[in-house]
Amino acid sequence: MKDLPTSPRGWKQFILRGVRFYRSADVPNLLKVATVLLCAGYLILPIDLVPDFLPFIGEVDDVTIVVLIHMAIVGWAQQHYAVDLDNKQQTIDVS
């Protein structure tokens, strides 16, 4: 799993990697749905690493965990399915 990006170009690639994950026909739909449900489940459940009653820190904790879950699953899928970042055949219109 790669670290969080530090440059604007890195953030763009990070976002496009997630978009390619969800648009890829090679990634099973069950994995896509499971990713969304796992992230949503963490946000909905009352169990947190940092309680939400602490201002700002509780919400940042939730967002961080969701991003890490998503990064781990997308990274794993890139290794096991044809979710290629350098594949120029897949074009994504972000405008």
Query: Based on the structure, what is the number of domains in the chain?
Result: 1
Q: Is residue 16 part of a domain?
A: no
Q: Return d(Cα 90, Cα 69) in angstroms, integer.
A: 25
Q: Is residue 22 part of a domain?
A: no
Q: Is residue 42 part of a domain?
A: yes
Using the Cα atoms of residue 83, residue 75, residue 33 and residue 7 in order, give the sign of their dihedral. Answer: negative
Q: Half-sphere exposure of 39 toward its Cβ, with a 13 Å CA cutoff?
A: 17
Residues in the chain, pLDDT under 70? 1-3, 84-95
Q: Is residue 47 part of a domain?
A: yes
> How confident is the model at residue 88, as a pLDDT?
47
> How confident is the model at residue 2, as a pLDDT?
55
Tokens representing 79?
A: 């290794």
Q: Is residue 70 part of a domain?
A: yes
Structural domain for 73, as ranges: 28-84
> How confident is the model at residue 37, as a pLDDT?
94
Q: Is residue 50 part of a domain?
A: yes
Q: Is residue 18 part of a domain?
A: no
Task: Give the DSSP letter string of the chain.
Answer: -PPPP-SHHHHHHHHHHHHHHHH-SSS-HHHHHHHHHHHHHHHHSS--SS-TTSTTHHHHHHHHHHHHHHHHHHHHHHHHS---TT-TTS-----
Q: Is residue 90 part of a domain?
A: no
> How confident is the model at residue 1, as a pLDDT?
47
> How confident is the model at residue 92, as a pLDDT?
53
* Cβ(61)–Cβ(48) below 8 Å: yes
pTM: 0.69
